[in-house]
Amino acid sequence: MTVQAVILAGGLGTRLRPLTLERPKPVVPLLNIPFLSYQLGLLGAHGVRDVILSVSHRPEVIRAIMGRERLGDVRLRDVVEKDPLGTAGGVRNAADLVDGRVVVLNGDVLTDLDLTAMLRAHEARGAAATIYLTPVENPTAYGLVELEPDGRVHRFLEKPGWEEVTTNNVNAGVYVLERELLELIPKGEPYSMEREFFPLLLERGVAFYGYVSPGYWLDIGTPAKYLQAQQDLLAGRFRAHVAPAGEHGANGWIHPTATMAPTARVRGPVVIGPGCHVERGATIGPGVVLGAGCRIEEGAVVDTAVLWEEVQAGAAAHLTGCLIGHGVSIGAHAHVTAGAILGDGTRLGAYSRLAGD
């Protein structure tokens, strides 16, 4: 049976603002690669090559960015929501392009899930719906999913207190659904996968199973998690199916068009993108990603930080634990410290001090 995928990417990315004011969350860069490419890489590696993106916020930007990416034999199409339709409504909006079994992914989940094994389990059980579950240390922050002994879904418990916790398996935002189930979702109306669709499946006695896997899983939707995702990728804690441009060496990925002064220091792991220029006495890393065209001036220090394209860090500036948007200019001797986020085009004067929350 042919398997297609729908990626839910209709959210506004409000938790990642100001980074997502101009660039939608599905294409924020991870190691200078649009996030969506990681999901497409996962799908393609498991033989799912027909992908529909359900989107509402700035679809033209997503198309432009993904149009520059090498997608291999994965076919990417999109359907646009005129008004936000929620998670299940977004799937229903894509239903006209779906024929048969469909894998649904939340648009902010970074995972190395063995999708082939999940699809095999779905088939073997005769399931109509299967939900990917992952164990977490603090289940009170998530929606828990209780299972019957045979793996069927028993009930959902949304962000319980510790006294209510009966399992540490949480909804990890990947689902396998048979096409006919999509007809249960009202067309053109806001409808929630978690609060409405899944309870409906339980109410109707649909063959609905959980698939528990302890692999890598991260919701990149907050600044802290977005920074963590970059660090995990740099450290090799996540096996991705895409990689930054350039050769991978002892210190990470340094693009061949980047220029480094002889006295500049690189402490891996790092990614230094195309056209970057690092001046003498500057120190880059560890845990640093420089987007294309960044300029790090004399004596500047950048560590555990993500800089998007065309960022300029002035002489003796110090950037640590921060997220810096496109085209930002940071003055000489400025300090930008842990948790700080600078949106696209920000200008920070010399000797400024900026700390996060």
**Whether the Cβ atoms of residue 172 and residue 210 lie closer than 8 Å to each other:** no
Cis previous bond, 269, omega within 30: yes
Q: Closest Cα to residue 316, out of 303, 299, 329, 331?
A: 299
HEC states along the chain? CCEEEEEEECCCCHHHCCCCCCCCHHHCEECCEEHHHHHHHHHHHCCCCEEEEEECCCHHHHHHHHCCCCCCCCEEEEEECCCCCHHHHHHHHCHHHCCCEEEEEECCEEECCCHHHHHHHHHHHCCCEEEEEEECCCHHHCEEEEECCCCEEEEEEECCCHHHCCCCEEEEEEEEECHHHHHHCCCCCCCCHHHHHHHHHHHCCCCEEEEECCCCEEECCCHHHHHHHHHHHHCCCCCCCCCCCCCEECCEEECCCCEECCCCEECCCEEECCCCEECCCCEECCCEEECCCCEECCCCEEECEEECCCCEECCCCEEECCEECCCCEECCCCEECCCCEECCCCEECCCCEECCC
Catalytic residue selected from 82, 159, 187, 225: 159
84, 255, 306 from 291: Cα distances, Å: 31, 10, 8
| 159 counts as catalytic | yes
Cβ(230)–Cβ(30) below 8 Å? yes
Best CA proximity match to 50, nearest among 34, 65, 18, 72: 72
Active-site positions read 159
